[in-house]
Amino acid sequence: MSVSHSSDLVGRVVGGRYRLLRPVGSGASAHVYVAEDVRLKRRVALKVLHPVLAEDRSFLRRFEMEAQLVASLRHPGIVRVYDWGEEGGDAYLAMELLDGGSLRGLLDTGYRLSVSQAAALGVDVAAALAHAHARGLVHRDIKPANLLFDEEGRSSVADFGIARALAEASWTEPMGALVGTARYAAPEQLQGVALDGRADVYALALVLVECVTGMVPFARDTILGALMARASQPLPVPAELGALAGVLEGAGTPSPDDRLSAEELAEQIAVVARQLRAPARLPVHVTLPAAPLESPDPTELGTGAARPADAGPTVLVDDLEIVAAHEVGEDLASAMPEGAVQAGGAGTTGDSDGQASAMAAATADGEPPATVEPAAPPVSAGDRDLTVAGAQPPAPSSVRPAPPAGPAHGDGPAVASSPSGKHRGARRRELRGRRRRRWPRRLAVLVLVACVLGGGATAAVLLTRPAPVYAVPSLSGESPGAAAASLHARHLRLAVAGRQWSPSTPSGEVMSQFPRQGARVHAKTVVAVTLSLGPQPVAVPSLSTLDLAQVRSVLHGQQLQLGTVARRSSMTVPAGTVISWSDAGHELLPGSKVDVVVSTGKPMVTVPPGADGSSYTHLAAQLAALHLAVHELQEYSNTVPEGTVIATSPAPGSSQVVGTEVTVTVSLGPHMVSIPSAIVGMTQGQATDYLLKLGIYVSGVQGSPLAAVTGSVPTVGTSILYGKSITLVAG
């Protein structure tokens, strides 16, 4: 069995049970097929590994072990592994078949997820990772290509365990596979350390950023450059991520010790998701044929109870949601008169009270629908939007009463003439009796014929009389109650087709209607309206570390305005950037104002007075309480007692930034010098130089100017102030 060409295997049965139907993809390590499990009669995804991998027996042992571990996982967000085996020197893996494509395929079409869609995806994937991590399994290769969708748009993680087996194989992956994987690698993967589940968390954070922005953070020209950038910098989360930004920053720290776990990530994203509006369904590519759109059975609407005859017509809206017409507070007729419209181009029945009303209101992303005009051609079953087609019943034909049947001929057996007069007389008497008994029946027939003719004529007159028609009024801007009253006055009825966001129509008022204003319709026709939800709320974006100019730009992009700007010092936020903002993580109506607090940098404090007799210990404690650094400088002072502050620099009373260093000069007291005995025996010149170095001046000499020094005044050994003068004694 060769896998050199994936199409070569189509039609073959692998492992005695998997018939390969068609190839669906080819990667660096395997070909993937849609296969039929001939034993269980179900379709699976069969991954046939590259032949060179089958030659690595250690890899096959690791592959088998990982396959067994993954098969033990039971989580809706993890692709199930059913079976594995070898045949003809190649290894294969039978897995759950998901037919909605991958996230990679969706992003490659240019589609970008909204913040609410990314949050929903993040919760599902993080919960699946948490389940696997709790059981000792790390994926190691989280990327869009490994996130698959079913036909409902639900996501599952594929290829658990394979990445680890490949990492320990003796083969070398192609460069394309390495580049694709390295784009989502955690920074610790560069260091070659043992990986845990937090590497998957980092990769998921990168994937979620790409889902919304279309760009993978830390894009570099080389793989090594991208990984080096991640090792030293936190994950940059753009403002487009809105309320998810703070969570993804916690999932994208360079150090795994500071990073969220998968369980914590799932919990925090779930908190954010509850604050956002419900996400739209992802436009996944489903290869299975779409089921045809069918008109719902009126006995199966709502909760499944039989529909009452006066419950009103059913209205089809976005995603075929069925909206009961009695929402507006008035029971509606279960059928429409002639001339009413039907969904999907259905034909008419000719019954003036038997045509259901329907309206196509399926639009993209909440945009208000345009007024739907009647269209003749029917709509195909695969179309998402329902087309409203007009239907005119055939004109009633004239009623022609059938002519009454005459009396039955041969009312009795034929009687032959009798030659006997007696017999002839008896026969005559018998005939006269029969005639007398027959006339009441004939009279009843005549009366019945007259009634039929009269009723038929009356019916012909009524049927040929044109039914009254009414002009549909304009309901734009009216409340449901007012709209129902306007229609009731014209013998018309109201149904709410749906509700949509509108930047111009206040919430609760009619924003569009069908039939449109001025249309001529018969009595009891249902007018379907779309009510406004008002302007669609927008998420307040993250403004962290932005300056005011950037804040205005970001808010303008979200149709929000900058409100009041307060300023406050901060020990951590640089001056001029935002510390906090109002309604963070919430949604506001367009045009709402967001208040911000901007940092003025670190706070300023005033240097306290110290040269007022304070001790150094007391002043140092004051400066420390103000978060000012202290540097002690000691000096002699003939006027300031020892241990007392002489001065501070910066000067007392000046304003300084927190953290500034203040130099405190402290007195050592008077500087006293002892007259040394070493001067005895020196010449007068030698003694003068020696004393000068000690800070003692010589004011004169007593005795012979040529004799050696024998003493001093004050005497040798006496302590005097630094800089004072003495007299030398000579001879």
Give me the pLDDT at residue 315, please. Answer: 32
Percent of the chain at pLDDT > 90 equals 39
Average pLDDT of the residues of the chain = 76
Q: What is the pLDDT of residues 348-407, one digit of tens each?
A: 333 333 333 333 333 333 333 333 333 333 333 333 333 333 333 333 333 344 444 444
Task: Spell out the residues 6+ positions from residue 61 whose beta carbon is closer than 8 angstroms to its own.
Answer: none
Give me the pLDDT at residue 676, please. Answer: 94
Here the tokens at position 201 are 């968390």
Q: Which of 535, 524, 527, 578 is nearest to 555 (CA)?
A: 578
Q: How many angstroms separate the CA atoms of 157 and 207, rounded?
A: 13
More confident residue, 61 or 399: 61
Give the burial string for 531-555 (b: 16+ CB within 10 Å, else e): bbbbbbbbbbbbbbebeeeebeebb
- Catalogue all structural domains in the chain, each as residue range(s) with its CATH number: 1-97 (3.30.200.20), 101-285 (1.10.510.10), 538-599 (3.30.10.20), 604-667 (3.30.10.20), 672-730 (3.30.10.20)
Average pLDDT over residues 282-301: 45
Here the tokens at position 166 are 């490949």
For the whole prediction, is pTM greater than 0.95? no
The Cβ-side half-sphere exposure at 40, using a 13 Å CA radius, reads 9
Does the annotation mark 595 as catalytic? no
Q: Which amino acid is at 22?
A: R
From 23-27, 242-246, 657-661, the region with the lowest mean pLDDT: 23-27
From 156-160, 192-196, 527-531, the region with the lowest mean pLDDT: 192-196
Q: How many angstroms separate the CA atoms of 336 and 312, rounded?
A: 9
Residue 4 reports pLDDT greater than 50:
no
Q: What is the pLDDT of residues 110-140, one digit of tens each?
A: 999 999 999 999 999 999 999 999 998 999 8
Residue 318 reports pLDDT greater than 50:
no
Residues 397, 398, 399, 405, CA torsion sign: negative
Q: Which of 280, 291, 287, 279 is nearest to 100 (CA)?
A: 287
Average pLDDT over residues 634-657: 89
Look-up of token digits 């935002």 = 578
SS3 content of the chain, % helix, strand, coil (to 5): 30, 20, 50
Catalytic residue among 141, 159, 200, 318: 141
Report for 115-124, 226-235, 238-247, 716-725: range of highest mean pLDDT: 115-124
pLDDT category of residue 259 using cuts at 50, 70 and 90: very high
Q: How many angstroms separate the CA atoms of 536 and 530, rounded?
A: 15
Q: Which residues partner with 94 through β-bridges?
A: 46, 83
Q: Which amino acid is at 256?
A: P
Q: How many angstroms separate the CA atoms of 563 and 191, rounded?
A: 47
Rounded to 10°, the helix 262-275/115-133 angle is 150
Give me the pLDDT at residue 56, please. Answer: 76
pLDDT category of residue 218 using cuts at 50, 70 and 90: confident
Residue 491 reports pLDDT greater than 80:
yes
Give me the pLDDT at residue 429, please. Answer: 66
The Cβ-side half-sphere exposure at 723, using a 13 Å CA radius, reads 5
Q: Can you tell me whether residue 677 is helix, strand or coil?
A: helix
